[in-house]
Structures are given as structure tokens and as C-alpha cells.
Amino acid sequence: MTRAISLHDVSKVYAKGVRVVDRLTLDIAPGEFLVLLGPSGCGKSTVLRMIAGLEDITDGSLLLDGEWANDLPPSGRDMAMVFQNFALYPSMTSGDNIGFPLRIENPGADPRDRVDATARMLGIEDLLDRYPSQLSGGERQRVAMGRAIARHPSAFLMDEPLSNLDAKLRNHLRAEISKLTRELGVTTVYVTHDQSEAMSLGDRVAVLRGGVLQQVGTPREVYGLPRNVFVAAFVGTPRINLLRGLVRAPLDGAMTISLGKQYLRLPEPLSLDHQLLRVQQGREVIVGLRSEAVRIAKHSSARPGEVPLTGLVEHVEYQGHEILVHFNTGSRPAVVPDLEAPRPAARPARRRRREGTVIDRLRERAGALRAGPVVVLDEPADEPPAPAPATPRIPGDLVVRTTPDIDLRHGMQVPLLVDLAHLFVFDQHGERICPNPAHLPDLEE
């Protein structure tokens, strides 16, 4: 039996009013593999522990198969948890560790058959007589997973189970976890800060920041249509290029987005998404370009929807199967403050509007997924400038992915083509306004 899990306006507040989860609403379907993704300290493990019953829920409700379960003890939730640090009993053999929860549930039964079946499933039959101290990290994690699988629970809760392993072993166990959970068909909630794990494992990915749900969707949706700058920058390798731009939309000329020394000319007739950018006339925006949205090619070979740029090679990363080229285009990168930190700044106050309008209600609904501004375009006038980072930033403002057969050297001036079909534009608060804006453009800011 598998289980549906629903969280409705769930919050967790610790002592001194520290709010680590803020009004989280999330529905997990029976048999679904959902990944909670976010930086360290964003509240994802707390959410997992509230589902397991290891943390009390301050506000909101938890429903298991449609039934209220806030006060249900962990033993009554029929869930199995896999911890980051394996949590094996050092005085027990692997077989005893796997069979321990079975003996607790049914003291009179012999768990050996289920232990052996689980060991065969995980390929650890020859490890059942060994103690944890005699196992490698990967073997310990298989035993920890076996202890959870042997119970035949209605849901698996996994709290960064692979973070203590080396890269090669992580990739191997990641494939095993994906195969096992799909064969068993059990609802799985998986916590990680590694976006590559999230993208390869999850049926859906829920991105958290500061205890607030930023976006939930399939890996393809989260990558291809990020709701805000935080999601765009957190998901994807290499990180998305974020450049400060200025929208220029003259009535008698072509619309452009100035990037400093160069600009992107939007082709006419304007698409619906690009028409909505007229609202941003004269305002600074954030332009987002994935590394695959730009290619190295002569301007004369531009395809429909591509516009030219020119870049100066500043750094070349050889990756074997590809090359990442860092260009200087004369643009200014947009700063995403505290991208790896959980605490967003308070969202700046907006001009007061008349209450009760349709736009107000739409904006209030859209604001439910925000956790404060995620982009800073201007330093506050009354504060000193931020200190320089301790480690120097990699040169260039635009990273482009290309094939390894191309020969580029430092200082070369290279023609580039930008595919506007993959252009993201975000407003000053970091919310996506192009393509397919999540809410109506703000006419009064």
C-alpha cells in the first residue's frame, strides 16, 4: 500500500520566533517520487521530519490519505526514514540491522525471509554477517535502505542519503534508488541540496528558499520555465547567465534590451511575451541566458529568432565532452545575494493600491510563493558598498557551452548568436516576466 501526503499552510516556528517553514502547501500523490530541493538551512529537512512525526507542526495541517495526522505518532504513520548518517546500530550485524524494525513490529515472527529477500534486492547477501564498522560508506547506505525497504512501508522519507559518499558512488546509488522506488511503487519524499540529484530522480521537484515554496513542477518545467531568479540560478549546471539590462521600447523603432556596451534587438513582429516587456520601458531588468542559449557562429549565419552579440574570450574550461567558454561582453552581471543562504531579505513595500480589484487578487495569489527579493540591482545609498569576495570571481559575464573541437584562446574576439526563444527576463524583484509571465505586469511600481 502506498500513501498520499498533503501539507496545507504548514509552518514551523522554533524558539524566539524563528520561522523555518512558512505556510507550505504541497500535495504528494500516491507512488510519486517528490524531491525537496534547496540550499542548506532552507527548511527542507524540517518538512521531512514534520511528515515523519519527528517535529511538531506549529500551524497548518498534515493529511495522510485525506485524514488529519498532525498528532499521529511516528509509529502510526507507517513510514520509513533513511538518514544522512546511515544511523545503523554498531553492535548489530547488517542482517540484524535490517531485521530490527521487523522484530519490534512483530516480536514473535522470524524476519529472516524478509531480510534475505531485501538483501537479494540490494545485492548485499554477502554482507549480512558483517558489522557496520566492517562496511564501506556505500555498503552502509545499502544496509540503511534495506532496513527501510524490509518494513514494506507506505512511504519512504530520505534525508540527503547520498551526501556522505564520493561522486562515483553517489551516481551509482542514485540509479539504484530510482530503480528500487519505481519497482516498489512507494511514495517517496527525497531531500537534497544537489540539483543534479533532484533533476535525475524526481517525478516532481519542489524548490524551497527561506522556508517558502518557490516552485514545484517536473524537472523539465523547473529548468525550462523557472518562476524566479532564485530557481533559475539554483537549478542548472553551469549556472544561468544573469545580466543587468535596460528595456528600450520607442514608439517609432525596434524594442531592444541594452546590456551595457551591446544590446539585444527583439525581432518584429513582437511575440506576445516581448510585447509585455513594453511595460518595463526605461526600467532595469535581469536577462537570463542558459549556456546552451548562445552559440558561437558568424552573424551572417543567424537563424530566425537569433540576434548577434560579440564576446572577448577570458577563460576556457575543458570538460572533455564539451568546453565552457567565459566571455566578456561588456555587460554587468546581476547579483543574486545569498543564493546559497536560506534567509531572504524582506520584500520592499509597494505603493498602496485600491483593495478588491481583480489585479490585486491576482497579485496576492501570485505572491504566495515569494520569499522576498532575490536580486539586487542597486546598492542602497545609505549603506557602504559590499566588500569584495574572498575568492576572485571567474572572469567573464557570459558562459557558453560548445563542442570540444573548437579552438579558442584568451583574448580572441568571437561572434555570438543568442536564441531569443530561450531568453528569460525577470523584473527587479527577480520574478519572471518573460516568457509566459506568472502574473500580470505591474503597472504602478
In a shared domain, residues 183 and 260: no
How many domains does one find in the chain? 2
The H or E element spanning position 424 is: strand 423-426
C-alpha 141/C-alpha 278 separation (Å) is 54
Give how far Cα 222 sits from Cα of 51, 53, 66, 340, 401, Å: 24, 29, 27, 18, 20
In a shared domain, residues 91 and 175: yes
In a shared domain, residues 177 and 296: no
In the listed set 203, 227, 251, which residue is the last one of a domain according to the structure? 227
In a shared domain, residues 208 and 291: no
In the listed set 168, 198, 227, which residue is the last one of a domain according to the structure? 227
155 grid coordinates: 512511504
Whichever domain contains 264, its CATH number is: 2.40.50.140
In a shared domain, residues 133 and 252: no
For 189, the domain range is 5-227
- The neighbour count for residue 220, using CB atoms within 10 Å, is 10
Residue 390 domain-assigned?
A: no
C-alpha 246/C-alpha 237 separation (Å) is 26
- Phi first, then psi: give them for residue 119, nearest 5 degrees: -65, -40
In the listed set 197, 227, 257, which residue is the last one of a domain according to the structure? 227
Closest to 145 (Cα-Cα) out of 112, 165, 129, 121 = 121
In a shared domain, residues 197 and 248: no
In a shared domain, residues 271 and 163: no
In a shared domain, residues 177 and 218: yes
In a shared domain, residues 265 and 212: no
In a shared domain, residues 123 and 197: yes
Residues constituting the chain: 445
pLDDT (tens, 9 = 90+) of the chain, 445 residues, equals 678 999 999 999 998 888 999 999 999 999 999 999 999 889 999 999 999 999 999 999 999 999 999 999 998 999 999 988 888 999 999 999 999 989 988 888 889 999 999 998 888 999 999 999 999 888 898 899 899 999 889 999 999 988 877 777 788 888 888 888 888 899 999 999 999 999 999 999 999 999 999 999 999 999 999 999 999 999 998 999 999 999 998 888 889 999 988 999 998 888 888 888 888 888 899 999 999 999 999 999 999 999 999 999 999 999 889 999 999 999 999 876 655 444 444 444 444 444 555 555 444 444 444 444 545 444 433 444 444 444 445 578 999 999 999 899 999 999 999 999 999 999 888 899 988 765 554 545 4
The model carries a pTM of: 0.83
81 grid coordinates: 526514514
